[in-house]
Structure 1
Amino acid sequence: MSSNPYAQFSGVPMDQRDIDALLEGQGHGVVSLCRDGEPYSLPISFGYDGDAVYFGFLEDTPNPTKMEFIRDGATARLLVTDIRDRFEWQSVAVTGTVRALDRDGDEWDDFVATLDDNAWFMTAFEQSDAIDSLSGWKLQVEELRGIEQKEEAYE
């Protein structure tokens, strides 16, 4: 039991194994970007390989706002949650620098493989025409924080 009297409301720190399990298993979250002090958040599908988060943006969409906010070398934060009920949940925040991936570079294959492993991404998508408008991004983990609430811990 935690020494924090508010832990049943605010959660307790997660261990690295549980953080990795959530990031590898969830496959979707909300990424937050910022441009000139203006925040922008959007849901994404992502893959996690233990060191970095990979995600893609379709550039040819009716609402290209995300492409206006993301840039190589910018800081981003990904929030991933698994909420079962108000007393059983997990939340992980990944903060780091995003880098654009070169389609012809070595990391493009890692990007596709990681998305295929644990994102909401289908291998068939890579073979479709839509792949031509996909930009790949890598969020290098610089800060990783997880908190959780487990109902059985307070019974």
Structure 2
Amino acid sequence: MTIDELGEYGMERMDDEEIERFLSMQSMGVLGLPTEDEPYLIPLSYGFDGGSQLYFFYLVGEESRKADLSERADSASFLVYSAETAFHWRSVFLTGSLRELSQDEGETMTDDQTPTWRPKLIEAAGETERTRFWEFSIEEVAGIRHDAQPPGYPFYRRPEGDGSE
């Protein structure tokens, strides 16, 4: 089924303003990088410039699969989602390109561009290991949301033909 067909079940497309607000309020997502077989998926914190770029912080050692795949990728995808309940959730799917920032660019990033959430493990390791910053240029974006009353609450209406008759 398409998103439009699922509208009767409470699913709706998010407009550009809703998507920008959602990306600004969140701080975690999943980066998908292409490989020869299946996509390589990495949960990452991100910074958002309020426009067309996301920013990632990579902690890398001598070898880093995510850095290697990022360097070779012509395009990548990023999914940000929030699921409060089965009846209330949002997701934004982005496609775009990656570019490693120079050390100078990384050091001059604004607070909005700097990923806001970093686990203590990464913070501690970041003091002794090499860090790299990456910019994700957003080329396409799609956002969907679902806001519905759960069954048993006033005004909940099951869609016709859902099999519960």
Give the distance between the partners of 1:89 and 1:13, measured in 2 at CA.
12
| Percent identity (aligned) | 27
Contact 1:26 1:119 in 2 (8 A): no
| Offset, 1:65 | 2.6
AA at the equivalent of 2:96: G
Give the distance between the partners of 2:147 and 2:47, measured in 1 at CA.
25
TM-score by length of 1: 0.78
AA at the equivalent of 1:143: E
Give the match for residue 114 of structure 1. 112
**Structure 2 SS opposite 1:95:** strand
Are residues 85 and 140 of structure 1, via their aligned partners in 2, closer, same or farther at CA, if it must alter by over 3 Å? same
| Offset, 1:70 | 1.4
**Structure 2 SS opposite 1:6:** helix
Is 1:81 aligned with 2:118? Answer: no
Give the distance between the partners of 2:112 and 2:37, measured in 1 at CA.
31
> May I ask how many residue pairs the two structures share in their alignment?
143
**Structure 2 SS opposite 1:98:** strand
Is 1:137 aligned with 2:134? Answer: yes
Contact 1:115 1:121 in 2 (8 A): no
Give the match for residue 48 of structure 1. 48
The 5 Å alignment of 1:2-13 reads 4-7=4-7, 9=9, 11-13=11-13
Give the distance between the partners of 2:4 and 2:45, measured in 1 at CA.
34
Cα RMSD (Å): 2.8
Contact 2:32 2:76 in 1 (8 A): yes
Which is worse superposed, 78-87 or 9-18?
9-18
Q: Give structure 2 stretches of 5+ with no counterpart.
A: 150-154, 157-165
Give the distance between the partners of 1:29 and 1:12, measured in 2 at CA.
21
Compare the two structures and name the one with the higher helix fraction: 1
AA at the equivalent of 1:142: E
Give the match for residue 34 of structure 1. 34
TM-score by length of 2: 0.73
**Structure 1 SS opposite 2:104:** coil
| Offset, 1:84 | 0.8
| Offset, 1:69 | 1.7
Compare the two structures and name the one with the higher strand fraction: 1
Q: Give structure 1 stretches of 5+ with no counterpart.
A: none
Note the alpha carbon deviations across 1:121-147, whole angstroms, 9 max, x for none: 49xx5xx634x6111111101001100
| Offset, 1:68 | 3.0
| Offset, 1:21 | 1.4
Contact 1:54 1:114 in 2 (8 A): no
